[in-house]
Structure 1
Amino acid sequence: MPARSEYLDWLIDELAPLGTIRAKSMFGGWGLYCDEAFFAIVDADTLYLKADDANRAAFVAEGVAPFSYAVRGKTQTMSYYSLPDAALDDSAVLLAWAKLGFEAALRARAKSLRA
């Protein structure tokens, strides 16, 4: 289990206006849940937010990187994107981006319940 960092604790405090935030250790990093919806990954003190067809263009337009990891010599990319730099300097901007990730998580959860 990775050790909790000051950055992770800061994120949990900053994201609290979205709902009940919970961090769960996973794969050497952390998964963030808001009201039990998995909406973000924290790895190496970087926040990655869930993206889908409805919000991916906003992340791409900012030129931010998707979350990727190596497995058996190949790079795998997930549909979670890092934040623009401005989001770390302004709580309102951070919450606006986090809300995009949370909404994507809610859409994914609703879709899986319909299936």
Structure 2
Amino acid sequence: MSEYTDYLHDVFERFGPITAHRMFGGHGIYHDGLMFALVSDETLYLKADAENVGDFEREGLGPFEYDKGGKVIQIAYYQAPEDLFEDRELAAAWARRSFDAALRAQAGKRKSRT
């Protein structure tokens, strides 16, 4: 792990325990076995969906993007606000909303399989 991902344990201490797992050159950040955030190039991104994407947009925060064969791909993770690194309650609130988005996504996958 990197110092950055290690530091996230402190950032999210009021949200609850997290784990970080390497993936695609970055790290997935998990709570209760469910990925709610990712780290790429020492930048934290949080899970977004239709219910919480407005929170990110109001803050002027953009989505995670990567290049795949010359095409820019966006996924449902948005850059975390810088303020949450200084305010543990704010970090917990953002983490809860993103974890809830991850739960909704997981529930949607289960429904589509049945």
| CA displacement 1:32-86 (0-9 Å, x = unmatched) | 1110111111011111000000100111110011101111112111110112221
State the Cα RMSD in Å.
1.3
Q: Which residue among 93, 104, 109 is the counterpart of 2:101?
A: 104
| Partner in structure 1 of residue 12 of structure 2 | 15
Task: Give the TM-score normalised by structure 2.
Answer: 0.90
Q: Pick one of 88, 91, 114 that aligns with 1:91.
A: 88
**1:1-115 matches, cutoff 5 A:** 4-115=1-112
Gaps of 5+ in 2: none
**Which stretches of structure 1, 4 residues or longer, exceed 3 Å deviation after superposition?**
none
* Greater mean deviation of Cα atoms: 36-45 or 14-23: 14-23
Q: Residues 10-51 of structure 1: CA distance to partner in whole angstroms, max 9, x if unpaired?
A: 102322433331111000000011101111110111110000
The answer as to whether partners of 1:33 and 1:40 remain within 8 angstroms in 2 is yes
Where relative contact order (Cα < 8 A, 6+ residues apart) is larger, the structure is 2
The one-letter amino acid of 1:114's match is K
Answer yes or no: is the 8 Å Cα contact 1:88–1:94 preserved in 2. Answer: yes
Identity %: 44
Distance change in 2, residues 1:87/1:20 (3 Å): closer
Q: Deviations over 1:77-103 (max 9, x none)?
A: 111011222122211111111111111
TM-score by length of 1: 0.89
Gaps of 5+ in 1: none
8 Å CA contact retained: 1:69, 1:75: yes
Give the stretch that moved more between structures: 34-43 or 91-100. 91-100
Contact 2:28–2:39 at 8 Å: present in 1 too? yes
